[in-house]
Amino acid sequence: MMRILRRPRTRLGHLTRALAMSVFSVQRQFITLKSLDAHPQAPPPTDGCTECVIVDSPDALDAFAADIGASFRDSVATLKARVARGCVVCLARRPRPNGAGSVVVGYEIAERGVFSALGRRIRVSGDVVFSHYVEVLPEYRGQRIHRLLFWTRDNYFRQRQGRVVCGVCAPHNHASLQALRRDGASIVGTVERISVLRVFVLSYTPTDRIAQLFAGAEGDGADARI
């Protein structure tokens, strides 16, 4: 009899929790930080077939448009629009199997002076570089292309007085977190967003705390946590 009585209560408890989760949403992302050392490191070892190029103007992107396939998240038009708004795109290219030109196998989007996470974008110091997104085609993963993209990006911004590279990553995205750690990045904080029905924001990590995190970051940023 007691078991029978407990079952409706248990189900009611599960239903209540499910309803609360559907109404209130808590989203979190780790903030990662990497210092751009004054002296650049040697490029990561690769098979010698991949080269990375920096695109920082819409016209420059046009020169590689034919090499960018449709399987990427961002189309050529989307990438061009982001470059026009101030982003820098690093393209990883390899010779086509048939020898006719090259094909883009990965890319990374970065921007200086901003921080963007969970639907909010804020201005930060101009020597802070934010990594928006990186993608390598599945068949080319595991070949250190991510690291070559990051190395090329770092050299570009280091020559332009970039001090740190930051980004955000979902706590459950273990593969990306491992790749960032291999590249020298550290987790220095968490940004959190609490909302109702994922529309009405009740709470968001204060933007001044985020800006202070980057303003006070020294070395690898290990002591600059929020």
* Predicted pLDDT at 72: 97
Residue 191: both structure tokens together: 């940004």
Per the domain annotation, does 161 fall within a domain?
yes
Per the domain annotation, does 107 fall within a domain?
yes
Per the domain annotation, does 136 fall within a domain?
yes
Per the domain annotation, does 14 fall within a domain?
no
Per the domain annotation, does 177 fall within a domain?
yes
| Distance separating alpha carbons of residues 171 and 183, to the nearest angstrom | 17
What is the tally of structural domains in the chain? 1
Per the domain annotation, does 3 fall within a domain?
no
Q: SS3 of 20, please?
A: helix
Range name among 89-93, 132-136, 190-194 with the lowest pLDDT average: 190-194
Higher pLDDT, 113 or 24: 113
What CATH number is given to the structural domain containing 136?
A: 3.40.630.30
* Predicted pLDDT at 6: 52
Per the domain annotation, does 225 fall within a domain?
no
CB–CB of 149/90 below 8 Å?
yes
Most confident of 4-8, 132-136, 212-216: 132-136
* Predicted pLDDT at 42: 81
pTM of model > 0.95: no
* Predicted pLDDT at 28: 92
Residue-number span of the structural domain to which 179 is assigned: 25-215
Per the domain annotation, does 141 fall within a domain?
yes
What value does the CA radius of gyration of the chain take, rounded to a whole number of Å?
21
19-40 residues labelled b (16+ CB within 10 A) or e (exposed) = eeeeeebeebbbbbbbbbeeee
